[in-house]
Structure 1
Amino acid sequence: MRVHRTQRTALPRLLGSLLLLTAAGISSAGAVPQGAAAATSGQAAGSPRPLGQIVPAPARVSPDGSPYAITAGTKIRVDDGSREARKIGDYLAGVLRPSTGYDLPVTGHDGGDGIRLRLGSHDSALGAEGYTLRSARGSVTITARGPAGLFHGVQTLRQLLPDQVEMNSRQKGPWKVAGGTVTDAPRYAYRGAMLDVSRHFFSVAEVKRYIDQIALYKMNKLHLHLSDDQGWRIAIDSWPRLAAYGGQTEVGGGAGGYYTKSDYKEIVRYAASRYLEVVPEIDLPGHTNAALASYAKLNCDGAAPPLYTGTNVGFSSLCTPKAVTYDFVNDVIRELAALTPGRYIHIGGDEARSTGHDDYVAFMDKAQAIVGKHGKTVVGWHQLTGAKPVAGAVAQYWGYDATGAAERKQVADAAANGTKLVLSPADRVYLDMKYDKDTALGLAWAGYVEVQRSYDWNPGTYLEGVPGSSILGVEAPIWSETLTSSDEIEQMAFPRLPGAAELGWSPASTHDWDAYKVRLAAQGPRFSALGIDYYRSPQVPWPTQ
């Protein structure tokens, strides 16, 4: 039987006063000047937030003219006949109506006023995800070449409005957007967050909550870690015991749970509505105790081990010489690929310490071929580069300062041969790492990772011998050995997740810790309005209350 943990229903707390930050001007790259400090007396009442005071930092900002104000008469005007623009307009109205109390009708009737969402920009530099936002006295217009860009522009509009716009009850305005133009497009095509639902299971509602949070910061990939030693989380019709038996527990011995195919389709649909692509992971050939416990024939000795609720790694392995192993892999990938419209299937490949090297290479050859046969692109943890990555494969690097030179060189050699990399260095963007020795949640095997350390690195130059052109993007994983609820996920993800999003989106020229920490501090009241109980890092000049 499928078990769902009850989602936390967080009613955003009313803030006694929303004390915002002031920024003394905006650079052409959109960053707050170095050395700017948080104001403790709050922003002048009724004045709009500076155009560049958002996360991720926009590529180009040109402040100019009078602000635009959303009023009771404002309409959201979308391209007539565009279903995507209409959907985005409806989404925006759903964000703004509760807090403003305004009707904000979404209409296909053209006009020079209101909030205007326009598809079909001729600016090729915007690509599929870029946008232009122009704000003036009579209107604010977001223009993009594609729907994803329009959606990202809407996230910028949200952040330019007062933080209380995120509340789900009527708030006092005014609702002003500073005058000028933001022109913006992402640095990297892959900007992801990974959620481990295997060590502890999270309900569909909890996954949707995380989707909304990462979408606000313009991430475009949700990597779901669907199988591990402690639990199998996706129903597979041809191997039903994987979920029914292998999904019935979690770390510590809780009830676990799994997603039916209908559940998974709903997650995929919801993510797509936020312009996020789901990247499902089935970790192979190690991290497989839940599968081995479910089917004895997957074990070399034909004996199923007991279910596992601890946190050790590296002890499990599929029986790579057996033909049934590849029947199993083929069936799982076939069914998962049919449910997943995105281009990627992640096959894990890390910490396969109980699989001999030659067996590992042979297994990965066959597993990659199966993924290709079902029309998907392989992603694997960077240990895949110790085998033979197929053409087009993506390796996800999770090494850290202690990772040896030989392993790093192996990754660099694969990049030189055409393998693209997604960077997830554990001592930078593993969001489950403790902030410091006093952090109650999380682990510390990669060290303590405070907010500055998490942000202050350059993906383009991070790995020696790897050219910037080999970097597909950045992903921030959060592993759930110690995390059991949305509250606990959020305590570890915020405020580090927005920094990972900025590393993936913003131009390298905007990268500056002293400027970023001021913009990040301005997000604090927004986190609170969204019901996110974030870690108040002493490295960030949060507004005083």
Structure 2
Amino acid sequence: MRVLRRTLGTLLVLGSATLSCATAQGVDAKPGDTRARPAAVRAAAAPAPYERLLPAPVSVRAAGAGYRFGAGTVIRTSGSAEEVRRVGELLAEQLRGPSGLPLPVVDGEGGDGVRLRLDEAAPGLGAEGYRLDTRADGITLTARTPAGLFHAGQTLRQLLPVGGPGTVPGGTVTDAPRFAYRGAMIDIARHHFTVEQVKRYVDQLAQYKVNTLHVHLTDDQGWRLESTAWPRLARYGGGSEVGGGPGGHWTKDEYRELVAYAGERYVDVVPEIDMPGHVNAALASYAELNCDGKARERYTGTKVGFSSLCVGKERTYDFVDDVLGEVAELTPGKYLHIGGDEAHATPAADYAAFMDRAQAVVRKYGKTVVAWHQLAAARPAPGAVLQYWGHGGTPAKEKERLAQVAKAGHPLILSPADRLYLDMKYDATTKPGLAWAGYVPVKRSYDWDPGTFLPGVPESAVLGVEAALWTETIGTRAEWEFMAFPRMLGLAELGWSPAASHDWPAYSRRLAAQAPRLDAQRVTYYRAPDVPWA
């Protein structure tokens, strides 16, 4: 999963725009590049507002006069739902910055402006879908849930000019996601990142309707979350990172702050405590977790597969119960990830026995197990979710085992390393990054179908998709963003948009149209040479 180891048509016609042959578009070098990139593509005509939406919506019907945002525009929330008011306040905050408008939030549905309307009986929208109707007298956002209203607001943000107020064209967007789980993973164990840095990522994800943040909290190089029962885990085990830096950890209050911040943006946090391997930080913190009773040295390298909890010790399960119980108490979401990958130092029988007991602890605390796909070789608990990170070189036997697990009713999250591992280099010149799963240019990351990707696994068994960013070579926010963007936007579309809208030429033009937004938000991103950046 990291270095050295994983040896309808749609009603909105998005593919109709043609490339302009006007001016060759040079591509700027970005932080992390080792050379300036040549002018490899020509600029495309700027797509109309509805045609630049990303992710692509289910349907758009353009009709009638548009609505002009101006000094008198207000955000109107109807009904007595406090959460709807909160969605309206957040939308107003997001729109005020670029527009400079006051955008007061008022109660009541009547009158012009932007109207947020909760309708639990609205047909065809599901838990996260929405309808956005624009007329001359205003814009009405309708959804069955506050989450749907939030997503509608993010679509509205894209329909307005990045730099200020403007007119939203008349029409109706009707939209709902293809997959329930649309995730991004950040590894804060190899290199420590602060809660504030992760909050910035949450904002970047939520505006493109990504609804899950998977946080890899522990590994050989560092234990990043405070534990009351086992305080040396963070105090000592958190004091290292790849390359010998100072490391660090989050307090429980900081973790709660992130969870609340993400929740306000309808992003669920999935914490991962990796076990029984990837545990050297724990073995260094507590001698009693080692079979020989001797604490290990802290580790700052990048090799994997050498560490293991002592499966035969009952004290190990006290540790597992305490740690998972604390994390479960801090996490309102339904999922708790227990890793389970690359446990090369744990014999197969011991691995299966350990995972039986660890899964039971997750269930004890009312959570649903998530684990990497190696759990398929053991005994997945009823309802357990498996996350696939394989690639082109993954043995067929592993994929066949996953198909069997899917048939047995276990949902799958797809994170193929040669498509959605954001720490893979774009090409040979990319710095930072790794290449054990091959190079992953922007087109390759986008151009595949999760519904047909694994042989024998039907789309109904796919819970969703997740893009993972491992940080062995990534130690700064600029490096993180450079590797994540723009590939993260492809993940957003794979998870949300209907399969019929999947089209690289159309997508690349809509991706290029996001550049002013990314620039305005000061996101460091890779200007892929096969995208017609305007």
TM-score range, shorter chain: over 0.9
**Helix, strand or coil for the counterpart of 1:84?**
helix
Question: Aligned-pair distance for 1:122?
Answer: 2.2
Is 1:410–2:389 an aligned residue pair? no
Residue equivalent to 1:193: 184
The unaligned stretches of length 5 or more in structure 2 are: 1-7, 24-42
Deviation of 1:31 (Å): 4.2
- Specify the alignment match of 1:309 in structure 2: 300
Q: 1:182: which partner in 2?
A: 173
Indicate how the Cα distance of structure 1 residues 306 and 278 shifts in structure 2: closer, same or farther if over 3 A, else same: same
Where do 1:472-487 residues align within 5 Å? Answer: 472-487=463-478
CA distance 1:192–1:38, shift in 2 (3 Å): farther
1:237-277 deviations in whole A, cap 9, x for unaligned? 00000000000111111111111010000000000011011
Return the TM-score normalized by structure 1.
0.91
Q: How far apart, CA to CA, are the structure 2 residues paired with 1:480 and 1:436?
A: 18
**Aligned pairs (5 A) from 1:132-531:** 132-164=131-163, 173-531=164-522
- The alignment yields a C-alpha RMSD, in angstroms, of 1.7
**AA aligned opposite 2:50:** L
Q: Report what 2:50 is aligned to.
A: 51
1:31 touches 1:57 (CA, 8 Å); kept in 2? no
Does the Cα contact within 8 Å between 1:49 and 1:160 map onto a contact in 2? no
Following superposition, the deviation at residue 49 of structure 1 comes to: 3.9
CA deviation after TM superposition for structure 1 residue 533, in Å: 1.7
For 2:71, the equivalent position in structure 1 comes to: 72
Shift of 1:359: 0.3
Q: How does 1:76-95 map to 2 (within 5 A)?
A: 76-95=75-94
Give the equivalent residue in structure 1 for 2:125.
Answer: 126
Measure, in 1, the Cα distance between the counterparts of 2:20 and 2:495: 25
State the Cα distance separating 1:121 from its structure 2 match: 4.7
Deviation at 1:526, TM superposition (A): 0.9
Q: Residue deviations 1:393-421, cap 9 Å, x none? A: 00000000000101111111111111110
Q: Secondary structure at the match of 1:279?
A: strand
Rounded to whole Å, the distance in 2 between the matches of 1:384 and 1:539 is 38
Contact conserved, 2:77 with 2:115, CA < 8 A, in 1? yes
In the TM superposition, what is the alpha-carbon distance from 1:32 to its structure 2 partner? 1.6
Question: 2:271 & 2:517 partners in 1: Cα distance?
Answer: 30
In the TM superposition, what whole-angstrom CA distance separates every residue of 1:471-509 from its partner, at most 9, and x where no partner exists? 000001101111112211110111100101110001101
CA distance in structure 1 between the partners assigned to 2:156 and 2:416 by the alignment: 31
User: Which moves more between the two structures, 436-445 or 80-89?
Assistant: 80-89
Displacement after TM superposition at 1:39 (Å): 8.4
How far apart in 1 are the matches of 2:398 and 2:47?
Answer: 50
Q: 1:308-364 deviations in whole A, cap 9, x for unaligned?
A: 000100000001011011100000011111100000000000000000000000000
* Residue 36 (1) aligns with residue 36 (2): no
Aligned-partner residue type, residue 71 of structure 1: G
SS of residue paired to 1:354: coil
Q: CA deviation at 1:38?
A: 6.0
Q: Say if 1:34 and 1:514, in contact at 8 Å, map to a contact too.
A: no
1:23: which partner in 2? Answer: none
Q: SS state of the match for residue 126, structure 1?
A: coil
Amino acid at match of 2:391: Y
Residue 28 of structure 1 contacts residue 61 of structure 1 at CA under 8 Å; is this kept in 2?
no
Contact in 1 for aligned 2:19/2:44 (Cα 8 Å): no
Q: Using a 3 Å threshold, how does the CA distance of structure 1 residues 431 and 40 change in structure 2: closer, same or farther?
A: farther
Tell me how far 1:48 sits from its aligned partner. Answer: 9.6
Q: 1:63 to 1:27 in 2, by over 3 A?
A: farther
Deviation, 1:85, is 1.2
Structure 2 contact 75–113 (Cα < 8 Å) conserved: yes
Quick one: structure 1 residues 427 and 28, their matched pair in 2 at CA, closer, same or farther if it must change by over 3 Å?
closer
Please give the alpha-carbon distance, in whole angstroms, between the structure 1 residues aligned to 2:17 and 2:445.
20
Cα distance change on mapping 1:38 and 1:348 into 2, 3 Å: farther
Q: Deviations over 1:130-189 (max 9, x none)?
A: 00001111101110000100000011001111122xxxxxxxx44111210000000011
In 2: Cα distance, 1:38 partner to 1:316 partner? 55
Gaps of 5+ in 1: 1-25, 165-172
CA gap 1:197/1:439 in 2 versus in 1, 3 angstroms: same
8 Å CA contact 1:84–1:147 kept in 2: the answer is: yes
Runs ≥4 in structure 1, deviation > 3 angstroms? 38-44
Quote the residue 2:26 is aligned against: none
Which amino acid letter does the alignment assign opposite residue 245 of structure 1? Y
